[in-house]
Amino acid sequence: MYMFKEWRGFDLTKRCEKFYRALRHEPVTDPEQIPISIFMPMYPGGQVYAGLAYYEDPAVMLKYQEDGHFWHLSNVEDDTIPYFMPWFGTGVLASAFGCAVRMPTEDTLEFEPACVTHCLESPKDVAHLKMPDPYKDGLMPTVLKFIDYAVAHSDLPVGLTDMNSVLSTVLQMTGYENFFLWCYDDPAAMHELVAMVTEAFIQWTKVQKEHIGEPLNASNGLQGVWGPEGVGVWQSDDDIVAMSPALYSEFIVPHYSRIYKTFGGGSLHWCGAAPNQSRCLLDIEGLTVWNNSTMRNFDAFSKTARNLYGKLAIQIQDGNDTDQEEFMKNLFGALPGLDGLMFAGLIGDSKDPERRDIRDFARNNVRIIREVAAMKLRGELKEYEERWSE
């Protein structure tokens, strides 16, 4: 069993066991059985606190995250399992294909690394693409440099960089509208493009795992959360909400099946509503976890959850609502049950030097989740369940 037993004196065994239980859809009879990770420090935005060296010096990025994890485990009693995230924005793979990246400057510290140009102007350009070399192209060599440094100089487990999905990477390369139009104008070229980006995604993930020393079918960290056996990779697929199920089924599903089978399972994330894609998700072979930020669209969340419950583990990523108790009552009311449920809320750092405000917010968040889960188990959320029932 792939798990971490401790980090700097903190026992992580029970935390790992909770995630294993959720992945196996074991019955939840106690709120404490639900894994809750209120992930912080937020690896994005580290440059705001650490300066531009955050992206220039691996020692700076590593120390920022080490200090943040130690503070977190010392102050918040949740199920976070710490790891180092080599963060360079969501365009690492696209940059390796030739998309230009804007890095933050002293005057734009609020910005993170981001793709600012496309690398394809027409479907004909696909024929001229070359497979990226992780040791030469785009931001890939920099990511590997930071991974290697963390592996050599830290006791913190090391995870993958941001795994922007194949679909979202393709859209960075083509431009948003172009890809959807080209699926009709030149479907053969778009099939070739998606297949090529899928292969690059797989090879890039394998290279990172080789440098990290983690197995193919598990991960030290995926979008803020440790991945046991059965969750070897993740994709952030926010653009699923804009694609029709017909196009998604034709152009995306077969390639995602290849990815998840290669890595022994994994998670697919998106923000917002896509209940119309439920059938497509169930057609992705090897997909084991659905990761969602509901954006308060409980009706769409309920429809999707009812379609996927018992088939995929459900990972909730919301964590910053202004009325967290009412939010959680709606969310738990929209859920068919609690088996296979995980929380992976991403909340940002605080400018408070002692981080009292973020500590209190995180503690309160954990308390509310457990209290509302207990209400669900006692049958006390009927009003909310009826509100979001079909």
Q: How many helices (H) and strands (E) does the chain have?
A: 16, 11
Does 41 score more than 90 pLDDT?
Answer: no
Mean pLDDT of 304-328: 93
Q: Between helices 176-185 and 187-212, what is the axis angle to 10°?
A: 130
Give pTM, 2 decimals. Answer: 0.96
Mean pLDDT of 207-232: 95
* pLDDT the model gives residue 42: 72
Does 345 score more than 90 pLDDT?
Answer: no
Higher pLDDT: 238 or 49? It is: 238
Rounded Cα gap, residues 310 and 282, in angstroms: 11
Higher pLDDT: 351 or 116? It is: 116
Phi, psi of 289, deg, nearest 5:
-135, 135
Ordered DSSP codes for 293-309: E-TT-HHHHHHHHHHHT
pLDDT in tens, 124-163: 999 999 999 999 999 999 999 999 999 999 999 999 999 9
Rounded Cα gap, residues 156 and 199, in angstroms: 29
Does 350 score more than 70 pLDDT?
Answer: no
Percent of the chain whose predicted confidence (pLDDT) is above 70: 98
Identify the CA nearest to 105 among candidates 48, 42, 145.
Answer: 48
Mean pLDDT (the chain, rounded) = 95
Rounded Cα gap, residues 90 and 107, in angstroms: 21
Mean pLDDT of 40-64: 90
Helix, strand, coil % (nearest 5) of the chain? 50, 10, 40
The confidence band for 353, taking pLDDT boundaries of 50, 70 and 90, is: low
pLDDT in tens, 178-193: 999 999 999 999 999 9
* pLDDT the model gives residue 199: 98
Does 233 score more than 70 pLDDT?
Answer: yes
- Chain-centroid distance, C-alpha 318: 12
Mean pLDDT of 47-66: 94
The confidence band for 346, taking pLDDT boundaries of 50, 70 and 90, is: confident
Rounded Cα gap, residues 248 and 255, in angstroms: 10
Pairing mode, if any, of strands 101-102 and 114-115? antiparallel
For the stretch 44-48, contacts whose Cβ atoms lie closer than 8 Å and that sit 24 or more positions apart, written own/partner, are 44/87, 44/89, 44/112, 45/110, 45/112, 45/348, 45/349, 46/87, 47/104, 47/109, 47/112, 48/109, 48/110
pLDDT in tens, 77-89: 999 999 999 999 9
- Work out the number of other CB atoms within 10 angstroms of the CB of residue 271: 18
* pLDDT the model gives residue 351: 57
- Work out the number of other CB atoms within 10 angstroms of the CB of residue 197: 25
Write the single-letter amino acid at 208: Q
* pLDDT the model gives residue 358: 84
* pLDDT the model gives residue 115: 96
